[in-house]
Amino acid sequence: MWSKFKKRRSINSLFTLSFDIIVRNIGSYCTDDTLKYLPPRIKDELIKSLTKSYAFWAQSDFKHILRLLIHPKLEMIDLTSADVDDDVLQILSTCKGLQRIYLTNDGTHHISKQELLNFLKSQNQLQRLQLRNCDIVDDSVLECISENCQKIDSLDVKGCREITDEGLNFLCSLKCLQGVTLSKTKITNDGLINFIKGPNGRRLKELVLDNCLHINIIGLREVPRYCPDLEIFVFYNCSCSEDMAMLYLEQSNLKNLKQLTWTVSW
């Protein structure tokens, strides 16, 4: 008999209902600085929800809202949907405990190199940095990261076409680095080999080199030798032959390898 009763629909909590209302009407809550006095935990959830929305960044007062929500204990922010400029970086510079920042340039960013350098100098707790497709990111930016962000364990600079072997050499001083994405950069075999021959090679678990036109079998064949704990290795659209497939299948020392992605040409 009990099986005949329909299952009741779950009801959202009062907190969830209130939170959704604030998100949908965020503009009306910033006129009297009400958002400024919210607990950090709630601010974190609002930042997480709002920054995923293109509609939020399209608002004329999004910078004011961001200033009200930012707090010193903020640990993560995703700016991949944002129209980031120097003002946004200045707002974030007050967050001294940031551990993860995701920033991908889709053609809308207006960041100056100097402001980016100033921002990175204030982020000594940073552990994960994604800074993709930014023309201003060059070897001097990697030098700044190596000097000020020693806790970084994952760095993604895909599409930063001004990065060369010199910049890669600066990363050798990062003692916690375990994952690096260098796709579509100007690094060469010499720079790659020099990088992995140092302590970084033994620590690396992820190495992504796709579309690096100056990397070929000369550099790639050294990776298994110096990166024995590698779990993810990506090198498609590099200058290598079909022999590369057999080469890596025969490497017995890559015992932890979980993902191998490549293309062959002939």
**Residue 100 confidence class, pLDDT cut points 50, 70, 90:** very high
Residue at 255 is within a domain: yes
Query: For the CA atoms of 123, 129, 130, 133, what is the dihedral angle to 10 degrees?
Result: 50
Q: Which domain holds residue 232?
A: 13-261
Residue at 266 is within a domain: no
Residue at 32 is within a domain: yes
Which CATH number characterizes residue 231's domain? Answer: 3.80.10.10
Residue at 20 is within a domain: yes
The angle, 0 to 180 degrees and rounded to 10, between the axes of the packed helices 40-50 and 62-69 is: 150
The single-letter code of the amino acid at 77 is I
Residue at 7 is within a domain: no
What b-and-e string marks burial along 208-233, b requiring 16 or more CB atoms within 10 Å of the CB? bbbbbebbbbebbbbbbebbeebbbb
Give the model confidence (pLDDT) of 222-232 as tens digits. Answer: 998 999 999 99
Residue at 124 is within a domain: yes
Taking the mean position of all CA atoms in its chain, how far away is CA 35?
A: 28
Residue at 3 is within a domain: no
CA–CA distance, 103 with 134 (Å, rounded to integer): 9
pTM of full prediction above 0.85: yes
Contact criterion met (CB below 8 Å) for 69 and 48: no
Token digits of residue 227: 């990166």
Q: How many domains does the chain have?
A: 1
Residue at 2 is within a domain: no
Give the model confidence (pLDDT) of 120-165 as tens digits. Answer: 999 999 999 999 998 899 999 999 999 999 999 999 999 999 999 9
Residue 264 has pLDDT above 80, yes or no: no
